[in-house]
Structure 1
């Protein structure tokens, strides 16, 4: 394997803000699908691997530019969902984009061969997109392998920074990233504070969110984002998915919000989420885009008063 060239650390932009959406739709129009804008060249910069996201002028960020509108004055408990492994199976991915609620976020695998058509369809439905970052998982290398571009504990910071750039170059128009690749959630890599901290800082500097896929993990301290509360498809059976979706509702009622993660867009998962979401508002909750659930990291600088 060729050794990647070291990447110089980025200079942080001036105090990026979290990605609240500037346009608030009235409650009566909240369910209307609005397309996500296409990738903006002013929010990209070249890299050795192709264009990658960057923060723009006057506080513009990809996390804001490609966010789904949401009424932040809505006081109902919020539930967010991230579905992973998009792009690897075109037929399953297309069905998920067609049937899942538009507020669902889609995490695209960097190993997807040709994701452009799927990304266009997701944007047309108003669905937010994340980059799935492959990181060294538990069991590596004997029982789990996140691929030949995974961020690894045995690589130098420069090599991992270059692999992060490669991952971000694989799709466009993302609001952020999540450290999960299918059922692998990068446990070994994320256990090293400086390694995962460098990833969060790199994303923050580019105006991107970071979602930690490990249930119960603390919120990312060096990025805007949060950790997921539970995984809804372990195992991916109808009964267990329904039970865990009900548990998401309980968490949201108790804490005000909840974030769930699914490893794959399996037909049974898509079917159960579509049926569950159809009655969510009648039960007094709202499905929210992940940008509406992001929080400021504790280690980030605060804007001057």
Structure 2
């Protein structure tokens, strides 16, 4: 039995005499003419579609995609692709050609100015080129100057001025150096010598604060403002018109707070200076912290008062809040400060993170500079303090 390559697979047919098919010249000429006409028509349509298409690269849609999407749904398909790919830096458009094919074209998204397109980036941190300039959308005019507010789009100053960090799950430490602005030479030395990862806290009673803020922010520092609060056993604090006091009406304390906040811009939050008595009085403290929360700021408690109620109140009013775990320079000697920094590291290794505070003394600045430069080699990430506060927005 013979074989036939043109027979259906698995089927056989009896062998028979084969007849040779003879084609007349007229029939051959007709077939060739029809094929030429069809080919010319297809070529014309393809040329017309090419003229209509944008002058850019075209990528054919995979067969299964083209079959799944009817020709009449091409515009909707293009729109759904843009929604499904928000991170794309290109405009995506699908075009239905005259011959029924779907062609996808890509083109760069239009933008003003130079530089890459950044789409869907986190709203943490500020463009380094603008770091010394406050975001006007996050400020309001007041009798005390410009005060921070939450933007109409919900952007908080805490987020806008935060120092970005890696987001890794390793050990993190924040170091806050306070008292800046009180000594011009000391402030300049601290800003120049301290690594950018260190958070700087400026005293509300300092001088040239806006200038120092601009220098600090351009160098990459996150900054806080230190507000004086009434301590225990210091009657002379009542004579300071800037100190927040337990015996004052809420309106007057708020006025003093706003005066401090208006001294500077570009900060993520406030930190107490002293304040043991006021921090222990929830009736006096609550309206102050509520105002801080409504302005989109954080509050860092320096951790020196065991009677502080700031943590309890912060949870009740949804205020981003943190406690310092350790004061690093209670003993003002470089070797002692380095030892405290090592203690802070061991604490962070147990907890996952830790916050240390210090003042801008020369010994403190030098010890912190040296320790931070070495910590990176041990896998420690130094972050801005905003990265370690407990933020209700994260829940």
Calculate the TM-score normalised by the size of structure 1: 0.81
Q: Which structure has the larger Rg?
A: 2
| Post-superposition offset of 1:284 | 2.1
3-state SS of 1:134 partner = strand
Q: 2:299 aligns with which of 189, 210, 222?
A: 210
| Post-superposition offset of 1:37 | 5.1
| Post-superposition offset of 1:23 | 6.5
Larger RCO (CA under 8 A, 6+ residues apart): 1
Please tell me whether residue 159 in structure 1 is matched to residue 252 in structure 2.
yes
> Quick one: structure 1 residues 114 and 293, their matched pair in 2 at CA, closer, same or farther if it must change by over 3 Å?
same
3-state SS of 1:88 partner = coil
3-state SS of 1:179 partner = strand
| Post-superposition offset of 1:296 | 2.5
For 1:253 and 1:228, how far apart are their aligned partners in 2? 16
Q: 1:228 aligns with which of 308, 321, 324?
A: 324
3-state SS of 2:195 partner = coil
Q: Tell me what 2:76 maps to.
A: none
Select the structure that is richer in helix: 2
| Post-superposition offset of 1:36 | 2.7
Please tell me whether residue 253 in structure 1 is matched to residue 349 in structure 2.
yes
For 2:124 and 2:225, how far apart are their aligned partners in 1? 26
Q: Is the 8 A contact 2:173 2:348 kept in 1?
A: yes
User: Which structure 1 residue ranges, 5 or more long, are not aligned?
Assistant: 1-20, 26-32
Q: Tell me what 1:46 maps to.
A: 141
| Post-superposition offset of 1:145 | 6.9
| 1:126-205 superposed matches below 5 A | 126-141=220-235, 147-180=240-273, 185-205=274-294
User: Which structure 2 residue ranges, 5 or more long, are not aligned?
Assistant: 1-120
- Structure 1 stretches of 4+ moved >4 Å: 215-218
Please tell me whether residue 113 in structure 1 is matched to residue 207 in structure 2.
yes
Q: 1:271 aligns with which of 359, 366, 371?
A: 366
Please tell me whether residue 22 in structure 1 is matched to residue 122 in structure 2.
yes
Q: Is the 8 A contact 1:135 1:146 kept in 2?
A: no
Tell me the C-alpha RMSD between the 2 structures: 2.3
Q: Tell me what 1:243 maps to.
A: 339
> Quick one: structure 1 residues 84 and 193, their matched pair in 2 at CA, closer, same or farther if it must change by over 3 Å?
same
